[in-house]
């Protein structure tokens, strides 16, 4: 019976849906996290009576036909790249991006990764790095005797040192934007990698005319997960899973009835 396979694809789809929702809920406090949404497509159809074919020698056309769908499949899992709430931390090395853009960091492999997580620290040599020790690109070093570190909205990093009355610029933060942010490949650790689908990065200074967002020092971007929405979606997915399981139960009962008839 087709209904067994169809309901099976429905249960698999809702399992993927629940897994996506559970990952959103698990990351509701992850800095810079963007919630995901599962999208589905119907599978191919079997033609029991093809629409548009002739039904008689006089050329009459079948107006509707008869097609039976074979279920559902996961088409994509999209990231919803809306701005998360900016939370103040008062830490001079915490930075949030207001608007479009990603910080660039260098991986141990030499590749460039991209992140919205602006919780930075200093390495033993004074270089600005991520929580995992990956260097911010372009590299910025803070002098050991620096008294204060300031970052303006355009990404310019300045420090004050003993005996100086004016601040000294030590680096410029640059952000990268992509024409298709959903084309970035998530690799965990709040990092993304460029793919053919994302296109090449457009790198520039924050708060510029290139559509790049601005840097907010002393803030971090919170996750954009809405718990109420996720719980509502979770209940809907659970109900859909249960209904597909009932279809399997009903189909099994029908097959049992046929089996009993064949024995009688």
Helices (H), the chain: 2-26, 227-263
Read off the pTM. 0.85
pLDDT at 264: 66
pLDDT at 259: 83
Query: Three-state SS for 97?
Result: strand
> What size, in residues, is the chain?
264
Query: Three-state SS for 228?
Result: helix
pLDDT at 38: 95
> Is the omega angle on the peptide bond into residue 118 within 30 degrees of 0, that is, cis?
no
Q: How far apart are CA 200 and CA 44, in angstroms?
A: 35
Number of helices (H) and strands (E), helices first, in the chain? Answer: 2, 20
pLDDT at 263: 76
Q: Which segments of the chain have a pLDDT < 70?
A: 209, 264
What's the distance, CA 76 to chain centroid?
Answer: 11
Q: Which 3-state string (H, E, C) describes 198-236?
A: CCCCEEECCCCCCCCCEEEECEEECCCCCHHHHHHHHHH
């Amino acid at each position: 019976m087709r209904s067994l396979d169809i309901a099976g694809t429905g249960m698999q789809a809702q399992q993927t849906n629940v897994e996506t929702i559970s990952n959103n809920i698990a990351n509701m406090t992850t800095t810079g996290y963007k919630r995901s949404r599962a999208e589905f497509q119907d599978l191919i159809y079997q033609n029991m009576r093809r629409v548009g074919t002739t039904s008689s020698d006089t050329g009459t056309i079948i107006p509707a036909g008869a097609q039976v769908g074979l279920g559902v499949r996961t088409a994509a899992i999209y990231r919803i790249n809306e701005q998360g709430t900016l939370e103040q931390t008062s830490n001079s090395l915490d930075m949030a991006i207001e608007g479009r853009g990603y910080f660039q960091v260098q991986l141990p492999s030499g590749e460039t990764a991209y992140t919205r997580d602006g919780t930075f620290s200093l390495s033993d040599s004074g270089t600005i790095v991520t929580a995992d020790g990956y260097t911010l690109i372009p590299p910025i070093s803070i002098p050991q005797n620096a008294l204060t570190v300031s970052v303006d909205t355009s990404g310019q990093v300045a420090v004050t040192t003993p005996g100086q009355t004016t601040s000294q610029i030590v680096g410029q933060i640059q952000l990268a934007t992509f024409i298709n942010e959903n084309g970035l490949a998530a690799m965990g650790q709040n990092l993304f990698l460029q793919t053919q689908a994302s296109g090449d990065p457009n790198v520039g200074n924050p708060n510029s005319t290139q559509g790049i967002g601005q840097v907010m020092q002393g803030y971090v971007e919170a996750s954009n997960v809405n718990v109420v929405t996720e719980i509502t979606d979770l209940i809907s997915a659970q109900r859909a899973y249960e209904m597909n399981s009932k279809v399997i139960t009903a189909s099994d009962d029908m097959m049992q009835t046929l089996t009993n008839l064949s024995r009688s």
